[in-house]
Structure 1
Amino acid sequence: MADESSVLTADEIGSVKELSDPDPLKPEQIEAARKETQAKDVRVGLGGSAARVISVALPASSYLAANHQAQAYSNYCGPATARMTLLHQGVNVSQATVAARVGITPGNGGTSWGAMLSTLNAYTGGQYAGTFLAYSPSAADKASYKARLKVDIATNKDSIAGNVWEVAGGPHLPGHPNREIFHWVNIRGYKNSGAYSQVQDPATSVWSGVPAQSPVSSDSLVTMMGGRGYQW
């Protein structure tokens, strides 16, 4: 499971991120994400509040097929995550193809928020919405994530691309070193009614202790995605 031994509080983690963000999302990106999320909430039956109880009962646990992909290069977490996410949609696209599309080469560059979202939508006919999270996500943000996670996995049969930003002293994904890390992961399931997210981490080829599959506390995962977010 995720490293829960964070020495920083959630607010402290948020402050660190806000003061050090090397590539903050632009206001227009944040506003676009808000509108996309609101529209998708309505489209999938969550109405104006994703945290509310939906009319269709969802199972306590649900998983899509395991299809882990190790990232081909140290900076290819984005292409590997896109490949896993698209495979759940029945789309088989290589890491090399995604890398060319998002504009990175081996050892150079990282997959931006906008590049990932445009790639997922290009191959799925615009099915994905980007949900931006504040540097210090609220309890409502965590509840909304869990509601969307359950609907996406159990009903839509779609997985999620999570844009993680770990900081020294904060929670980390299993096997990750205790330092600042910008990373993409695939989220393919949940258990305990969304309390835990099943994460596929492409960094198995980067750090030897990283497991391909891990149940991660959803609350911790949302904290790690603060300042970025998830695409579902």
Structure 2
Amino acid sequence: MRNQEFINKIAPAAVEDMMNTGVLASITIAQAALESAWGQSAPGNNLFGIKGSGTTQTTKEFINGVWVTINAGFRSYQDWFGSITDHSKFLLENPRYRNAGFFDQCSAMDYAGAARALQAAGYATDPQYATKIVGIIESNWLQQFDQEADNMLREIEELKGQIQTLLNTAEVHIEKISALEAKTSMAVPEWAKEAVIAASTTFCRDGRPLIDTPDGSSYDFYRLLTTIHRKGLI
């Protein structure tokens, strides 16, 4: 698999993972490339060389100033995407990475600082680990994926703000509609009771009262009736 093919395959998952966890997509892709030899060496779909149970592999570690070959257990996954998810979970759940400032550097969009924090926290024994990670990022322009994830997060926040504004506007209109509905169908207000009684006891030529059922009338009706009463017309 060519380097660009590997990047194209895992970049979307790395961007999505950054949006969910804050781990820079560039770091995720570069570590996966370095640890798995660009996808050529990932037994158990373990792209990041995270140790655990699942498979036993022969690996090299830098111990006491020299490279030594050891056998170690490594985690295994159904696919590469499961490995990417577990990689971020591993970093989040191990306090040493946060204590080393890894997530602070990710928040600052500083991939070089994040790489140094990984090395300082002991992710790998290779003394050139951070340098190699930064080299992979810069030679393949992987920082573009950090910006992509950041832009998407900003757009989501902007959409959330627009939705909240629409909801607030809708609430105001609902309140106005409710107030109007209350005015169009309301019980006789205290200030209109005298006028209502007068109208109820004033009869037309056919013997019917001027008003029959005043309850449930509108605010404007009660106001007009009161005005007529005060002018002595009923």
Q: Does TM, normalized by the shorter one, top 0.5? A: no
With the length of structure 2 as denominator, give the TM-score of the two structures. 0.29
The structure with the largest alpha-carbon Rg is 2
Greater relative contact order: 1 or 2 (C-alpha under 8 angstroms, separation 6 or more)? 1
Of Structure 1 and Structure 2, the greater helix share is in: 2
